[in-house]
Amino acid sequence: MKQPLPDIPIKTKANPHHLILQFNPPIPEPDQKKANIVHKEINTLLDTFDLPTYFQAMAVSWSRNGNPIITTTAYGVMGDLLGHVEKIGKIFMKNMLVSALPDIDYF
């Protein structure tokens, strides 16, 4: 007789500070903007909305699929940026922004 498996909580890899943007068509690697430039452009855009300073991007990176991943500051979460994803998406490329996924939904 098999013993039942213990209820072990599964640790998630999700990060509440990550916002993942998906474009159609995807952004090819040669067309991907440098992370430090995009980071500054996002924060400049957010500054124009007169938001508190914790509504800022701390870093930008690229997934293996060519999706930009925006990391918020420690006091902000991806939900803080969701209202501005269309304008943030235009910083990356003119391609159609298909979705903005909080990291917790992506995994």
Query: In this structure, is residue 66 part of a structural domain?
Result: yes
Query: In this structure, is residue 22 part of a structural domain?
Result: no
Query: β-strands 57-62, 18-24: how paired?
Result: unpaired
Query: In this structure, is residue 18 part of a structural domain?
Result: no
Query: In this structure, is residue 87 part of a structural domain?
Result: yes
pTM: 0.76
Q: Which residue type is seen at 97?
A: L
Query: In this structure, is residue 9 part of a structural domain?
Result: no
Q: Are 62 and 88 in contact (CB under 8 A)?
A: no
Q: Are 106 and 20 in contact (CB under 8 A)?
A: yes
Q: Which residue type is seen at 88?
A: I
Give the pLDDT confidence of 64-90 residue by residue, as tens digits: 888 899 998 888 877 778 888 888 888
Question: Domain containing 59: what range?
Answer: 27-106
DSSP for 75-94, please give it: T--GGGTGGGHHHHHHHH-S
Number of domains in the chain: 1
Q: Residue 86 phi/psi, 5° resolution?
A: -65, -45
